[in-house]
Amino acid sequence: MGKDKFAFHTGYPIATSGATLIHLCEAGMFGSMQGAGVYKDKLAKVLKRAHRDFLLFKKLRGMQCSQPRFTPARLSRHVQTSS
């Protein structure tokens, strides 16, 4: 995927961007979700890392954005729907 995890076209619908973020999280891009535990809690942990990485991405490029933190609730994701 390259160094710029967040360098994707922002013209996509929010649902598409959210689905992409979930897929990246489940693929381990922001840390492992493997092991025992509640899916929502494991997702919240990696979303926190994803948001931290996003804030750094913005800062390094001098970008402004009011994106709120990433959470399972904001992505309407409480259970895993794919394997």
pTM over 0.75: no
Question: Coil, strand or helix: which one is 66?
Answer: coil
Question: Coil, strand or helix: which one is 11?
Answer: coil
Give pLDDT, residue 68: 86
Measured distance CA(44)–CA(70) in Å, rounded = 8
* pLDDT higher than 50, residue 1: no
Domain ranges across the chain: 14-61
* pLDDT higher than 80, residue 6: no
